[in-house]
Chains A and B, each alone.
Chain A
Amino acid sequence: MSDVPFRNPGWAGNTGEFDLTEEQVRGDDFIGQRPLHGGHSSVSGTMPYMLVERNPQAGLFEGEYQERLEKILTRYPKKRAALLPVLGMVQELRGYVSPESMDRVAELLDLSPAYVRGVTTFYTMYNKRPVGRHLVQVCTNISCNLCGADEVLAAFLRYTDIELGATSEDGDFTVIEAECLAACGFPTCVQINSRYFENVTPADVPKIIEHLRAQVAGSD
């Protein structure tokens, strides 16, 4: 093993020669604070969360989400440009973008259903079918791969007891491979819903899963 002091503040990235807590690295007082109505219109188009508890039947663009939608529409000279943020809102609420949701979005933005389907399928972040409460995406691209990402992926599959791309029977986990997550200095990087877990080793995997299961139980 290397002789570099290794401090891992809860999978937020090795702080190396810095003495930082996980909260300080992640900016916890900034994260998880976004209002559902989207805040200032300049940033209302960002997708703030991927919720653990989703409702595939949730009404779209109601209440605060309607407010957010109206703000988003003010930021672009053409209505169509709001398509990506709007699809993001659908996913945030329902957990995935179903063909029915796409039709609804098409109607809303005066686009054809086929057009919306074409765009939705181009982007990997839109789930085309339901996924587990925790969508585990393990980066296996070059920098992480050089540092053992394949073993981390194998560990996630082993401890959740599912196959790559499948969802566990209890609906808690879906594990997939991801392309480079831009955290190459902190291998292996794993994105779980909206959160990055960095410097993950196979030994960390059972602890992370336990942590996530507790979250699911806690939110019931």
Chain B
Amino acid sequence: MAYPYVSDLEVRVISKYFGDPGQRRIDTYVERGGYKGLQKALGLEPDAVTEEVKASGLRGRGGAGFPTGVKWSFMPKESIRPHYLLCNADESEPGTFKDRELMRWDPHQLIEGCLIGAYAIRAQHIYIYCRGEFFEVNQILARAVEDAYAKGYAGEDILGTGTTIDITVHQGAGAYICGEETGLMRSLEGERGEPRVKPPFPAAVGVFGMPSTINNVETLAAVPHIILNGGEWYRQWGTEKSPGTKLFCVSGHVQKPGNYELPLGFPLIDLIEHVCGGIRDGNELKAVIPGGSSVPLINAEDSSICTLDYEGCVEVGTMLGCASVIVMDHKADIVKQIRRMVDFYAHESCGQCTQCREGSAWTAKILRRIEEGHGTEEDLDTLMEITQQMVGTTICVLSDSVAAPVQSSIEKFKDDYLALIRGGERVGAA
């Protein structure tokens, strides 16, 4: 059940109980086989748990796609110092709404995944950094964590095994940059959420200076199923390099927007046409952003051949990111939407790096000028020049995220810009 719409093409592993209010209750969760993965994991050596996740090929669902098991194996084997597992629930990439659904419909699945992950990396404390705006989600999650403590799934001597793992839900306060792992760690420490240079990587020097691992909500939600059924089982879906299932958050101009859990490698055009019921009002497809606002957008032609796995998206010049598919029909005003996204980045830039702080603001200003009909053709060259300087030159990738939509839209939808600059009829204007 992938609330709000269902498709026969889905493979529902982590979204099975979306739309089922009963799943929030711990008794129902346990009745349906919940916390069995945790029980199994606690009977294994921590490294065996990591190996199983490695075997599954699970890749980080927060955008980077780094193999989860490999990330866990970077953690020191000793546990003289405290280790921490951080769950990144600061979902705020425009177009992405999967973690909120995972937490509000199935909070115990996430808690179980966190506990297994913590056990594997020898962490005794989990921090779930939940987005501040998610008051409602936080309350559902808070009750679930309290229930998990009350029933002995968290805290001291979990299920009588002598293992102690604590969970703390930490609420953010409205800063997109805290979704970046080092920004998140600093925010958790009570600082401004300004990212820092890596290395040292979190596995060596993480939160509070201790070895830490940061995983996305969706990544951790898949872990109980992998432990219970085995890594090979997870590989029955997806491609060799991108195994398993993934939640696709489809928004924009489709008939049935929503979250759909599909095997990785699913064709983008089938997602739009067959899963989401096609474009609204019988309109034509114009552009798709397949991975959230930080990845390049592609045109209809590339969309028809794009497959939704980490490699398939790269082949058409974009990225899977966190699989937030934003669909635009032929009436969409590309320049306005790009300007809106850049406004967002200009607002969310933490201001440490010059290229990002100044670049995002300049870019927004020029785009607004073009949008209002006062742009020149040289402005397009200036935009390309500014954004080229914003790639790979800063502490974190927020700056790169400005460049991706701006450059790709100028490359693929130059006519939209030129129409505004030359004073022709505006594309998408009502």
Q: Chain A interface (Cβ within 8 Å of chain B)?
A: 1-4, 13-18, 20, 24-27, 30-34, 39-40, 42-43, 45-50, 75-78, 80-85, 87-88, 109, 118-119, 122-126, 140-143, 145-147, 178-187, 191, 194-196
Q: Kindly state the separation between the CA atoms of A154 and B310 in the bound complex, as whole angstroms.
A: 39
**In-complex Cβ contact of B167 among A31, A42, A126, A185 (8 A):** A42
Q: Which residues of A contact B187 (CB under 8 A)?
A: 84
List which B322-340 residues lie within 8 A (CB) of chain A: 324, 326, 328, 332, 336-337, 340
Q: Kindly state the separation between the CA atoms of A3 and B256 in the bound complex, as whole angstroms.
A: 10
With A46-B138, A48-B142, A143-B94 in contact, do A18 and B170 touch (Cβ < 8 Å)?
A: no
- Tell whether B376 is near chain A: CB-to-CB under 8 Å: no
**In-complex Cβ contact of B255 among A4, A40, A186 (8 A):** A4
- Tell whether B228 is near chain A: CB-to-CB under 8 Å: no
- A sample of 15 inter-chain contacts (CB < 8 A) reads A2-B281, A30-B139, A43-B141, A84-B170, A109-B190, A119-B192, A125-B133, A125-B173, A142-B252, A143-B95, A143-B326, A179-B176, A182-B131, A184-B326, A185-B250
Whether the pair B174, A123 counts as a contact (CB closer than 8 A) is yes
Classify the secondary structure of A's interface with B.
loop
Q: Which residues of B contact A42 (CB under 8 A)?
A: 145-146, 149, 154, 166-169
B337 CB to nearest A CB, Å: 5
Whether the pair A123, B337 counts as a contact (CB closer than 8 A) is no
B370 CB to nearest A CB, Å: 17
With A27-B24, A182-B97 in contact, do A33 and B172 touch (Cβ < 8 Å)?
A: no
Whether the pair B190, A83 counts as a contact (CB closer than 8 A) is yes
Q: Which residue of A is nearest B208, CB measured?
A: A77
Segment at the A interface, from B28-36, B341-349, B357-365: B341-349
Q: Which residues of A contact B173 (CB under 8 A)?
A: 84, 87-88, 123-126
Segment at the A interface, from B1-9, B233-241, B413-421: B1-9
Q: Which residue of B is nearest A24, CB measured?
A: B21
Whether the pair B259, A146 counts as a contact (CB closer than 8 A) is no
Q: Which residues of A contact B293 (CB under 8 A)?
A: 141-142, 180
Q: Which residues of B contact A1 (CB under 8 A)?
A: 281
* Residues of B in contact, count (CB < 8 Å): 82
Q: Kindly state the separation between the CA atoms of A84 and B185 in the bound complex, as whole angstroms.
A: 13
- Tell whether B232 is near chain A: CB-to-CB under 8 Å: no
List which B278-299 residues lie within 8 A (CB) of chain A: 280-281, 289, 293
Tell me the total A-B contact number using a CB cutoff of 8 A: 230
Whether the pair A195, B143 counts as a contact (CB closer than 8 A) is no
Q: Which residue of A is nearest B21, CB measured?
A: A24
10 shortest A-B CB distances, which residue pairs?
A16-B4, A194-B135, A125-B174, A83-B190, A123-B173, A43-B142, A184-B251, A143-B251, A124-B174, A80-B190
With A30-B139, A43-B142, A123-B175 in contact, do A179 and B348 touch (Cβ < 8 Å)?
A: yes
Whether the pair A184, B135 counts as a contact (CB closer than 8 A) is no
B280 CB to nearest A CB, Å: 5
Q: Which residues of A contact B123 (CB under 8 A)?
A: none
Q: Which residue of A is nearest B350, CB measured?
A: A122
Q: Which residue of B is nearest A193, CB measured?
A: B135
Q: Which residues of A contact B138 (CB under 8 A)?
A: 46-48
Q: Kindly state the separation between the CA atoms of A4 and B258 in the bound complex, as whole angstroms.
A: 13
Q: Kindly state the separation between the CA atoms of A180 and B5 in the bound complex, as whole angstroms.
A: 22
Whether the pair B3, A15 counts as a contact (CB closer than 8 A) is yes
Q: Which residues of A contact B193 (CB under 8 A)?
A: 122-123
Q: Which residue of B is nearest A184, CB measured?
A: B251
**In-complex Cβ contact of B139 among A33, A77, A181 (8 A):** A33
Whether the pair A43, B340 counts as a contact (CB closer than 8 A) is no
Q: Kindly state the separation between the CA atoms of A140 and B94 in the bound complex, as whole angstroms.
A: 10
- Tell whether B52 is near chain A: CB-to-CB under 8 Å: no
Whether the pair A142, B326 counts as a contact (CB closer than 8 A) is yes
Whether the pair B149, A184 counts as a contact (CB closer than 8 A) is no
A201 CB to nearest B CB, Å: 14
- Tell whether B372 is near chain A: CB-to-CB under 8 Å: no
Q: Kindly state the separation between the CA atoms of A119 and B186 in the bound complex, as whole angstroms.
A: 11
Could you mark each residue 39-56 of chain B with 1 if its beta carbon is under 8 Å from any beta carbon of chain A, else 0? 000000000000000000
Q: Which residues of A contact B136 (CB under 8 A)?
A: 26-27, 31, 194-196
B154 CB to nearest A CB, Å: 7
**In-complex Cβ contact of A81 among B188, B277, B336 (8 A):** B188
Q: Kindly state the separation between the CA atoms of A147 and B329 in the bound complex, as whole angstroms.
A: 11
List which B181-205 residues lie within 8 A (CB) of chain A: 187-193
Could you mark each residue 126-151 of chain B with 1 if its beta carbon is under 8 Å from any beta carbon of chain A, else 0? 00001111111011111101100100
B252 CB to nearest A CB, Å: 5
Whether the pair A80, B189 counts as a contact (CB closer than 8 A) is yes
Known: A27-B139, A33-B139, A195-B136; 4 extra A-B contacts, CB below 8 A, are A18-B4, A30-B140, A30-B143, A142-B95
**In-complex Cβ contact of B251 among A14, A17, A78, A185 (8 A):** A185
Whether the pair A48, B348 counts as a contact (CB closer than 8 A) is no
Whether the pair A187, B168 counts as a contact (CB closer than 8 A) is no
With A13-B4, A18-B4, A43-B142 in contact, do A119 and B190 touch (Cβ < 8 Å)?
A: yes
Q: Which residues of A contact B188 (CB under 8 A)?
A: 81
Q: Which residues of B contact A109 (CB under 8 A)?
A: 190
- Tell whether B92 is near chain A: CB-to-CB under 8 Å: yes
With A30-B24, A40-B145, A43-B142 in contact, do A146 and B332 touch (Cβ < 8 Å)?
A: yes
Whether the pair A118, B192 counts as a contact (CB closer than 8 A) is yes
B293 CB to nearest A CB, Å: 6
Whether the pair B175, A18 counts as a contact (CB closer than 8 A) is no
Q: Kindly state the separation between the CA atoms of A31 and B139 in the bound complex, as whole angstroms.
A: 6
Q: Which residues of B contact A27 (CB under 8 A)?
A: 21, 24, 104, 136, 139-140
